[in-house]
Amino acid sequence: MNPIVDIYTGASNGLREVWANKVRTLLSMSGIILGVAALVAMVGIVQGMLGNMRASFERSGGVLRLEVYPREAPESQQHIAGISPGMTWRDIVAIEKAIPLADYVTPIVDMSWESFIANGRRERSMLHGVTPDYAGISNRKLDYGRFIADSDIDAKSPVIVVGSYIAGDLFRNIENVVGQQLRVRGQVYTIIGQFEPTASRGFGRSRRGWNYEDRMNYIPATTAMSRYKGDDGVNRIEILASSVEAMPDLMSQINNTLTQTHRGIQDFEIRTQDEQMQELKKLENSFTYSLGGIAGISLIVGGIGIMNVMLASVSERIREIGVRKAIGARGHDIFIQFLAEAVVISILGGLFGLVASVGLLTLAQDLIPQGENISNMPVTAMFYGFLFSSLIGLASGIYPAMRASRLDPIDALRYE
Amino acid sequence: MPKMSSRLVARPSFEITMSDSRTVFELQDIRRTYQVGSEFVHAIDGLDLQIQDGEFIAVIGTSGSGKSTLMHTLGFMDSPTSGQMSFEGEDVSHIGRAERARLRSTRIGFVFQSFNLLPKLSVLDNVLLPLIYGRQNPTNKKELGLSVLERVGMEHRASHRPSQLSGGERQRVAIARSLVNKPRLILADEPTGNLDTKNRGRIMDLFGSLLDEGITLALVTHDTEVAQYAQRRIRMEDGKIVEDDGR
């Protein structure tokens, strides 16, 4: 008559039955426990590993990073392409002024490979002219000194920030090379900063890194222009967006601004990291769905286990069902009682499964040391795992409960 | 169509009840037929019976005489195939499962030969079980349970399990369970069949004392000594009443 009372009564009867048959209940819920634990742990580990991949991607600017490259003007503009000044310092100034959505903007004045000379030694390495914003895009750490400052840009200072390769090779006995001088193409530079080596981080750190990044050295863009290029041309522009949401607007704003400074000539292109990101997302989805699917199948197997136990429980308790009906239980009451029992088993199984999954994830964290992010518990997976296991318990309880509720009280009482 | 016919049969039983408000059951030409394979078995074959308030009836007969089917019919576990049946003035010849369950939980108490207590529940919980299905949900449930246990002299065993009790004690608990809903009629199916002579006497005395409280009692037995406790004895054969000393 009152569904809430019915469900309360059924659930308390079901709980009592579960408590009275602890071992059987535990065995029957083992499928659900393993299913939920597997689901949550698998999703957690996959999310953790891919999270690490994403994190390293993010460190290099991630999806927020945009690059503007020069390219040939399109066919229709070929005959007037000459009116464009090309990619120049003015583009940088225009973007900085007009586009607040760009957090950082730097030109890259690419000197490519140069000979670096100091202490009578000569070493080839790469040289880029940049602005202070470059530090915000690359996110690299300095061991000593500082990065290029605005004043260096204004003054076209003869200063350089060196990578660990040059620092280690030209100044073999000096740990901190800040303040030392070196020469590139006849120009003298004072070292103002020294990057932390990127590679061999885990093993006692050697100053001589092997990574490509360790061979990069930076001077103020204006210094590079005046000392080597003789004009204000830049090779490319790197930009960091303030947010992912701002990307489309940012891109169209860059396009508008550069179209203006290039006098309408489309001799540039904006590249994003979006494609790489899409691949990463695809990978993430295929992992999540395939592993989640396998765990889902094991949950269904767990549900079949519950149904099996419930059917056994019904035939074991035919007489009890008869007694309950004789003293006034309706089919409906018996149905709810058995259904509640199945649901209680699956909910308990789901909870135990969640506990087990936390254990598995903690274990995985120890076994996969690079998985810094694995410790993040996949709350969504936990929620769905629990929900799914409860639904499966409900579904697997329906048939046995229906059989119990349809028993004839006279036959059930006679049953031996 | 069935609605029409039920209205037609309802009229005579209504008039009967008006004539005598003390009638608990009024059965007219009741038949209960089972089909076993291609054959029809007439478990009850044209039976008329009136049960008055406060009666103590013993139904006796050999096995297969239809006495169990009669008990199931009176206990609303089963419906007659044909005939008219009224309970407390209401026509109950064609009521559905849910209504039968409601009547079982509120108006009828059952006592079985093999006690049929639920082994996993305590004595008190066994006694309180009908209240769950009766939907009454009284506030003082526990006291009510203890008071009926006291009535049968079993209150000191309230927290025991049925398996810790002797046969006679279990049957007393079963009687307490049948009493807890304050039923109009208690039906007992061979209540002393599994008991020794001493306990048989005590159970029958207990039944006798219930009569003083205005409970109507019907029991099935083939023990003629047990039948002597009853005020009215009905003998059944082949689905018919062949002897009724209450008439």
- Give phi and psi for A233, each to the nearest 5: -70, 145
Q: What is the CA B7 to chain-centroid distance, rounded?
A: 27
Q: A4 in contact with B at a CB cutoff of 8 Å?
A: no
Res A373 pLDDT > 70: no
Res B118 pLDDT > 60: yes
Q: In which residue are the tokens 């849910």 written?
A: B98
pLDDT at A376: 61
- Reported ipTM: the value is 0.86
Res B139 pLDDT > 80: no
B91 band by pLDDT with thresholds 50, 70 and 90: very high
Higher pLDDT, A49 or A2: A49
pLDDT at A367: 62
- Give phi and psi for B113, each to the nearest 5: -60, -45
pLDDT at A189: 93
DSSP-assigned letters across all residues of chain B: -HHHHHHHHHHHHHHHHHH-TTEEEEEEEEEEEEEETTEEEEEEEEEEEEEETT-EEEEE--TTSSHHHHHHHHTTSS--SEEEEEETTEE-TT--HHHHHHHHHHTEEEE-TT----TTS-HHHHHHHHHHHHT---TTHHHHHHHHHHHTT-GGGTTS-GGGS-HHHHHHHHHHHHHTT--SEEEEESTTTTS-HHHHHHHHHHHHHHHTTT-EEEEEES-HHHHTTSSEEEEEETTEEEEETT-
Q: What is the mean pLDDT of residues A217-226?
A: 92
B-proximal residues of A, 302-331, CB under 8 Å: 319-320, 322-331
Q: What is the mean pLDDT of residues B165-183?
A: 92
Query: Distance (Å, rounded) from C-alpha B32 to C-alpha B116?
Result: 26
pLDDT at A13: 74
Least confident of A111-120, A273-282, B28-37, B125-134: A273-282
Higher pLDDT, A70 or A273: A70
SS3 A218: strand
Cβ proximity of A345 and A24 under 8 Å: no
User: Beta-carbon neighbour count of residue A344 at 10 Å?
Assistant: 24
Cross-chain Cβ contact B104/A326 below 8 Å: yes
Half-sphere exposure of A48 (CA within 13 A, CB side): 24
pLDDT at A15: 78
Q: What is the mean pLDDT of residues A319-337?
A: 89
Query: Which two structure tokens, joined as six digits, stand for A169?
Result: 């090779």
Q: What is the mean pLDDT of residues B102-107?
A: 90
Res B12 pLDDT > 50: no
Res B200 pLDDT > 80: yes
B60 band by pLDDT with thresholds 50, 70 and 90: very high
Query: Distance (Å, rounded) from C-alpha A7 to C-alpha A337?
Result: 8
Closest chain A C-alpha to B69 CA, distance in angstroms: 10
pLDDT at A372: 47
pLDDT at A169: 83
Res B154 pLDDT > 80: yes
pLDDT at A106: 92
pLDDT at A60: 62
A212 band by pLDDT with thresholds 50, 70 and 90: low
Beta-carbon contacts of A328 under 8 Å, excluding residues fewer than 6 positions away, are B101, B102, B104, B105, B106, B130, B133, B134, B181
Res B216 pLDDT > 90: yes
Query: Which two structure tokens, joined as six digits, stand for A380?
Result: 């969504």
**Radius of gyration for chain B, computed over Cα atoms and rounded to the nearest angstrom:** 18
pTM: 0.65
Contact residues on chain B for A323, CB-CB shorter than 8 A: 112, 116, 118
Query: Which two structure tokens, joined as six digits, stand for A111?
Result: 């000197």
Query: Distance (Å, rounded) from C-alpha A378 to C-alpha A383?
Result: 9
Residues found in chain A: 416
Least confident of A250-259, B96-105, B129-138: B129-138
The proportion of chain B whose per-residue pLDDT surpasses 90, expressed as a percent, equals 45
The proportion of chain A whose per-residue pLDDT surpasses 70, expressed as a percent, equals 90
Query: Distance (Å, rounded) from C-alpha A237 to C-alpha B154?
Result: 94
Q: What is the mean pLDDT of residues B78-85?
A: 92
Closest chain A C-alpha to B247 CA, distance in angstroms: 30
Res A202 pLDDT > 50: no
pLDDT at A211: 57
A-proximal residues of B, 61-80, CB under 8 Å: 72, 75, 77-78
**Closest residue to B77, CB basis, from A9, A320, A410:** A410
Query: Distance (Å, rounded) from C-alpha B214 to C-alpha B84?
Result: 26
Query: Distance (Å, rounded) from C-alpha B45 to C-alpha A281?
Result: 78
Res B222 pLDDT > 90: no
| Sheet of B108-111, strands arranged across | B108-111, B185-189, B216-221, B56-60, B232-237, B240-244
Res A3 pLDDT > 60: yes
Q: Which helix (H) or strand (E) holds A289?
A: helix A274-316
DSSP-assigned letters across all residues of A11-34: HHHHHHHHHHTHHHHHHHHHHHHH
Q: B112 in contact with A at a CB cutoff of 8 Å?
A: yes
B131 band by pLDDT with thresholds 50, 70 and 90: confident
Q: In which residue are the tokens 């004895």 written?
A: B233
Pairing of strands B232-237, B56-60: parallel
Cβ proximity of A85 and A261 under 8 Å: yes
SS3 A344: helix
Q: What is the mean pLDDT of residues B136-141?
A: 76
Res A76 pLDDT > 80: yes
Q: What is the mean pLDDT of residues B111-130?
A: 90
- Map A295-319 to HEC letters: HHHHHHHHHHHHHHHHHHHHHHCHH
B63 band by pLDDT with thresholds 50, 70 and 90: confident
pLDDT at B177: 93
Pairing of strands A216-220, A121-130: parallel
Mean pLDDT estimate for chain B: 86
Beta-carbon contacts of B171 under 8 Å, excluding residues fewer than 6 positions away, are B111, B115, B191, B192, B194, B195, B199, B203
pLDDT at B247: 56
**Could you tell me where the DSSP H helices lie in A163-235?**
164-170, 221-224
Task: State the Cα torsion A32-A37-A42-A48 to the nearest 10°.
Answer: 150
pLDDT at A198: 66
Query: Distance (Å, rounded) from C-alpha A138 to C-alpha B15?
Result: 100
Q: Which helix (H) or strand (E) holds A38?
A: helix A22-59
Angle ∠(A305,A310,A313) on CA atoms, nearest 5? 130
Least confident of A49-58, B31-40, B94-103: A49-58
| DSSP code for A248 | H
Closest chain B C-alpha to A348 CA, distance in angstroms: 21
pLDDT at B6: 42
**Closest residue to B101, CB basis, from A319, A323, A328:** A328
Res B138 pLDDT > 80: no
- Give phi and psi for A313, each to the nearest 5: -65, -35
pLDDT at B1: 42
pLDDT at A210: 47
A2 band by pLDDT with thresholds 50, 70 and 90: low
**Could you tell me where the DSSP H helices lie in A190-241?**
221-224
The proportion of chain A whose per-residue pLDDT surpasses 90, expressed as a percent, equals 19
Q: What is the mean pLDDT of residues A16-36?
A: 84
Q: What is the mean pLDDT of residues A156-177?
A: 87
Closest chain B C-alpha to A24 CA, distance in angstroms: 15
Query: Distance (Å, rounded) from C-alpha B134 to C-alpha A328?
Result: 7
Higher pLDDT, B54 or B10: B54
**Closest residue to B105, CB basis, from A20, A328, A331:** A328
Res B164 pLDDT > 60: yes
Query: Distance (Å, rounded) from C-alpha A190 to C-alpha A180?
Result: 6
Q: What is the mean pLDDT of residues B42-60?
A: 92
Cross-chain Cβ contact A9/B132 below 8 Å: yes
Chain B interface test: which of A327, A405, A415 (most B C-beta within 10 Å): A327
Contact residues on chain A for B182, CB-CB shorter than 8 A: none
Pairing of strands A121-130, B23-36: unpaired
Res A266 pLDDT > 90: no
Res A158 pLDDT > 90: yes
Which of A86, A77, A112 lies closest to A233, judged by CA? A86
Higher pLDDT, A369 or A255: A255
A52 band by pLDDT with thresholds 50, 70 and 90: low
